[in-house]
Amino acid sequence: MKGDAVTAPHPSPLPEERGASRASPLLRAEALHKRFSVTPSLLGRARGEVHAVSGVSLSIPTGTTLALVGESGCGKSTVGRLVLGLTRPTSGRVFLGDDEVTALSGERLRRLRRRMQMVFQDPGAALNPRMRIADAVAEGLLVHHPQLSRAERQARVAALLERVGLRPEAGQRRPGELSGGQRQRVVIARALAVEPELLVADEPTSALDVSVQAQVLNLLMELKAERGLTFLFISHDLRVVEHVADRVAVMYLGRLVEEAPRETLFARPRHPYTDALLSAVPDPRPGRRRARVVLDGDVPSPLSPPPGCVFHPRCPLYARLTEGERARCRGESPELRTLDDGVPSAHVACHFAERM
């Protein structure tokens, strides 16, 4: 690969985020907020506002993977879109290296986007059904490397298809002639074509069969090692996350509730929600599962989140607190903080995390 895309990471001009490792981050998101207004619907609901993302800060060191975890509607995919500049935040800033994504628009944003690519859950929807695979992969090259000759472009496309495990003949096919796993390989090849530094992968294996999921995960991990790629890996599947992540951030109702190194988070979750999520993961080895914490109820509507800590109505820890302590959970929204437990790189947003 040519070296033009591999920019050396610059030292951060701003004070380091809490939780960032000492290596300078490739991606930084600072206090992101995103509100969507909800128009009156046929169901007669009042006009309102959904606070989809509430004060989320992230920092991903170059060459590492941050997994963003949560259930549907928690705001994780919106964070992915904010990072890519596909959606504008209501407030907050996103930096890729020294460049502020949130300050750019038009042509300058398009140029920056070459450095960050995406892989989504449904590879069928991501590909134009009428475009041949080779043309789909070459598209980004045409936009970002117009100086390449036709032959150079074809050679690059062939090399990319081979790298993601597709035969050269696949280039002449159309998406409908490929399986789901093959289509996801095409999407990955297309993303790699422009030599990005950051890959945002939103549920990249959720639509794939179990036997194919392992192939795609292995491919992504190889590419990370081989090209020094940095990943924002968005997933609801904690088994996959434990396999791919260096750090893990857990979201609930638009907020980060915990952010920690992978081993720390899986070995000893500090937030009661993380604990419940981990215990709900089915384990194929009979008798090997954690003691299950079954949460009551559903995730509340983001239209009217509970006051104070948004998790308190479902929190198993809340049930064990005194009335005075509970008043604090209901009245005061907890900030992310470190505990005095010898793991300064783990952050949790819970007033009573010490009781876990």
Containing 110, the helix (H) or strand (E) segment is helix 106-113
CA distance 322 to 231: 42
Q: Is 91 in the site for another protein (CB under 8 A)?
A: no
Which residue from 13, 106, 282, 342 is in contact with another protein, where contact means CB under 8 A? 282
Task: Say how many CA atoms lie within 13 Å of 277 toward its Cβ.
Answer: 29
Residue with Cβ nearer another protein (91 or 179): 179
| 250 touches 271 (CB < 8 A) | yes
Cα torsion 151, 152, 158, 160 to 10°: value is -160
Residue with Cβ nearer another protein (8 or 42): 42
Which residue from 5, 143, 148, 221 is in contact with another protein, where contact means CB under 8 A? 221
Question: Cβ 160 to another protein, closest distance in Å?
Answer: 20
Residue with Cβ nearer another protein (3 or 282): 282
Question: Cβ 282 to another protein, closest distance in Å?
Answer: 3
CA distance 293 to 277: 8
| 168 touches 137 (CB < 8 A) | no
Site pattern 49..78 for another protein (x: CB under 8 A)? ----------------------xx------
Q: Which of residues 191-210 bind another protein (CB under 8 A)?
A: 209-210
Burial degree of 256 (CB within 10 A; 0-12, 13-18, 19+): buried
Question: Cβ 45 to another protein, closest distance in Å?
Answer: 10
> What is the SS3 assignment for 327?
helix
Where does this chain bind another protein (CB under 8 A)? Answer: 43, 71-72, 179, 181-182, 209-215, 217-218, 221, 236, 238-240, 242-243, 266, 276-290, 292, 294-299
